[in-house]
């Protein structure tokens, strides 16, 4: 699409496997034609596509091939659980990297030399990792922007019906159930009340009454399982909602202030700046808002 919209051959790509034979994905889908890894010369980037049971697919032969690519200076990327292959090869050591939220804990435990990020994607020198789902599209749009400019990237995003292009500052959404486990129903109920009352934030005393917990119990739950106080969690929840509205709607900042439960625009701006490093007005100026030479990859 970038080639079509830019009117130039900016990118070429091939699908490759170790032996050139077609490989079935974990959902049974096969893509072809496929060529052998040793037949593609020296690509700019090789992306490893991951799926289920990735550990079984990471063989000594694959690891050796990835290390050879790294030695020749090829950029290496990984989509979803493909990051496990790069980690096993030692090619993410001392790098920031991203993987799907389901695999973060295991990767952090097994590979302590990797700086695990909760971002939707991460670029660290010539390592490119995306968390999975639709995040690889965000990664590609950012790579297009860096090569062909923001205008082409925006045009491509419009073709794919993407509301906005997420940056590497965006975090992947991790369901609270995945963070604390389904057994902690009391904490989940408190969080659900907060999510349902963003415009008119509830006091902790009122939340305690609604859930049948004491204020002290709620504070202990948040400290133990989320390592924060309830007030901070609630504030970050409201600021996240505000950022979505800034990027995805044309609502005036005054209306967003009210919709997210802030007392006044100055108060909202102060909290927003403290959380994201810049005021809401700067977010509105971002090219990633909703709009009313050749590289090869394998």
Query: What is the full per-residue pLDDT of the chain (298 aa) written as tens digits?
Result: 999 999 999 999 999 999 999 988 888 888 888 999 989 889 999 999 988 888 888 999 999 999 999 999 999 999 999 999 999 999 999 999 999 988 887 888 899 999 998 899 999 999 999 999 999 999 999 999 999 999 999 999 999 998 888 888 888 877 777 777 666 889 989 998 998 999 999 999 999 999 999 999 999 999 998 889 999 999 999 998 898 888 878 889 999 999 999 999 999 999 999 999 999 999 887 655 444 355 556 5
CATH class for the domain made up of 176-284: mainly alpha
Quick one: fold of 2-172? Rossmann fold (3.40.50)
CB contact at 8 A, 96 and 74: no
Q: In sequence order, what DSSP letters do the residues of the chain get, joined into one string?
A: -HHHHHTS--EEE-EEESSSS--B-TTS-B---EEEGGGS-S-SEEEEEP-TTHHHH--HHHHHHHHHHHHTT-EEEEEGGGHHHHHHTT-STTSEEE--GGGHHHHHHH-TTSEEE-BSEEEETTEEEE-STTHHHHHHHHHHHHHH-HHHHHHHHHHTT-S----TTPBPP--HHHHH-TT-HHHHHHHHHHHH-SSSPPPHHHHHHHHT--HHHHHHHHHHHHSS-HHHHHHHHHHHHHHHHHHH----HHHHHHHTT-S-HHHHHHHHHHHHSS-HHHHHT-TTS-----EEE-
Can you give the residue ranges of every domain in the chain? 2-172, 176-284
pTM over 0.85: no
CB contact at 8 A, 3 and 152: no
| CA pair distance 133, 118, nearest whole angstrom | 14
């Amino acid at each position: 699409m970038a080639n079509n919209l830019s009117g130039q051959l900016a990118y070429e790509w091939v699908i490759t496997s170790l032996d050139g034979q077609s490989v079935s994905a974990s959902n049974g889908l096969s893509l072809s034609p496929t060529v052998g890894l040793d037949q593609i010369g020296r690509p700019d980037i090789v992306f490893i596509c991951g799926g289920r049971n990735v550990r079984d697919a990471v063989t000594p032969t694959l690891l050796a091939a990835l290390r050879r690519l790294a030695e020749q200076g090829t950029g290496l990327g990984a989509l979803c659980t493909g990051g496990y292959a790069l980690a096993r090869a030692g090619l993410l050591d001392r790098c920031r990297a991203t993987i799907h939220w389901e695999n973060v804990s295991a990767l952090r435990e097994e590979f302590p030399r990797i700086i695990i990020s909760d971002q939707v994607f991460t670029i660290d020198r010539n390592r490119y990792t995306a968390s999975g789902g639709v995040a690889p599209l965000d990664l590609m749009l950012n790579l297009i922007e860096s090569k062909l400019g923001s205008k082409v990237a925006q045009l491509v995003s419009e073709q794919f019906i993407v509301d906005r292009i997420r940056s590497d500052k965006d975090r992947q959404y991790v369901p609270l159930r995945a963070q604390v486990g389904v057994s902690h129903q009391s904490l989940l109920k408190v969080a659900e009340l907060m999510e349902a009352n963003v415009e008119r934030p509830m006091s902790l005393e009122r939340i305690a009454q609604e859930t049948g917990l004491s204020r002290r119990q709620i504070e202990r739950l948040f400290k133990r399982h989320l390592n924060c106080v309830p007030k901070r969690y609630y504030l970050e929840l409201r600021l996240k909602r505000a950022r979505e509205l800034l990027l995805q709607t044309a609502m005036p900042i005054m209306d967003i202030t009210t919709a997210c439960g802030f007392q006044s625009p100055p108060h909202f701006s102060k909290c927003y700046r403290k959380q994201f490093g810049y005021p809401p007005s700067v977010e509105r100026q971002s090219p990633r808002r909703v709009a009313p030479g050749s590289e090869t990859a394998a």
